[in-house]
Structure 1
């Protein structure tokens, strides 16, 4: 699901168009951007039995297909548990905001949704989470109501959630992103004309993580 379908021209993937009107609706009137992520996951889940989603700053370094064996109606996979949320989450207590029948206190565990493996049987749970996301995002300034509510919903009614434990790296911090983005942009310029199999091999050899030398070079260049 993408608002830039042309970026995938020539690749063996199926795309679903995401319009500006849909983005506005999914983000509660352009008020909370991560609502698009939550609503998009639900829309994709309608077309499959099990979905494994990764943020675009996550990337596998080996085969991750075994994750599908762990996704079931009673078990989901997320990136990691961050524990009790901090910042302004305690202000949720007494607000009467609920995920399903569970009234939120702000002390529920925070699961990171940079990775999410979920079964289609849990679509209704995600829908209850999405409804709560809209309400929580009106109360908190944090960008994390999406993952907070999803983690709560997927752990209800006897269901469980576990960390992914897969060979996946990330470039989630600003410094890592700048380094990785330069390398990815160079890859697109120099490799996108190759056949798919050749691009796959070249991508496997592409280093997106910084070495100590890269960090030293950055320090001395002032970039």
Structure 2
């Protein structure tokens, strides 16, 4: 099996690119043989590191994002492009990072089973989609489907067609429901059809995907490369393995006046 770990990093905010790279270095600390592909519009940030880059052009971003009307379409489009290069893909958002060996995840990925980060609680906006004739492949959206979080996604190449089916209706879901989560909503539905199932990942992966966590971790991500960016790659990987991005009780206390953690 050609198993690949994937990341997607695009845009002008450096933290997305550096976050992907630090997560990849942590991954290489725990899984030294990992094959990593990063879809990015900033390939220079990854030059010299043991990762393969897949360049995203401005034209591709326009096409994937429906001419800029829904930018998370870029993530969905890039997932499909990375999957074309492997048999099994384990993708992580740039604010996700491993804290142990997560290579066993590939054993749970098959043509009939995908993995995603978690199944979210019912959302108030999904009923707005009822009766709108939104189709994901042959399936007509009812507005009562569950939504899976796509911060982690494990998918088999056999299901490439499902990812491709999920992309076109994202714009309609976004514009009708007035939400940004159309990408993961449509992907979850597509990967649940035709005797396919989805399960939670249950891997040693942490994140900084809330406002409070981002406020703490983002400066540390940038500081890692200011401090160690000129070190040999092997040493950067070693240091990345124990580099802390999560908050201690004292850190939480210092953030106690934040309205969102």
TM range (shorter): over 0.9
CA distance in 2, matches of 1:143, 1:23: 17
- Per-residue CA shift, 1:69-119, capped at 9, x if unaligned? 1111111000001143x2322111011111122211111010000000000
CA distance in 2 between partners of 1:214 and 1:161 (Å): 35
Q: Partners in 2 of 1:147 and 1:128 — Cα distance?
A: 13
Q: Which residue of 2 aligns with 1:114?
A: 151
**How far apart in 2 are the matches of 1:164 and 1:220?**
33
Structure 2 gaps, min length 5: 1-38
1:85-164 equivalences under 5 Å are 86-164=123-201
- Secondary structure, counterpart of 1:181 in structure 2: helix
The C-alpha deviation readout for 1:113-172, integer Å capped at 9, x for no partner, is 000000010011111111221221221211111101100110111011000000000000
Partner of 2:213: 176
Indicate which of 238, 242, 247 corresponds to 1:210.
247
Residues in 2 aligned to 1:129 and 1:33: alpha-carbon distance in whole angstroms: 15
Q: Residue 113 of structure 2 aligns with which residue?
A: 75
CA contact (8 A) 1:83 1:111 kept: no
Preserved contact between residue 97 and residue 135 of structure 1 (Cα < 8 Å): yes
Q: Are residue 22 (structure 1) and residue 60 (structure 2) matched?
A: yes
Comparing 194-203 with 52-61, greater Cα deviation is found at: 194-203
Does the Cα contact within 8 Å between 2:73 and 2:170 map onto a contact in 1?
A: yes
CA separation of 1:78/1:9 partners in 2, compared to 1, >3 Å: closer, same or farther? same
Deviation at 1:219, TM superposition (A): 4.1
CA contact (8 A) 2:69 2:171 kept: no
Q: Aligned equivalents of 1:8 and 1:30: distance in 2?
A: 25
CA distance in 2, matches of 1:79, 1:220: 29
Offset of residue 220 of structure 1? 7.6
How much does 1:40 deviate?
0.3
CA contact (8 A) 2:40 2:53 kept: yes
Separation (CA, whole Å) in 1 of partners of 2:221 and 2:255: 18
Paired residues, number: 221
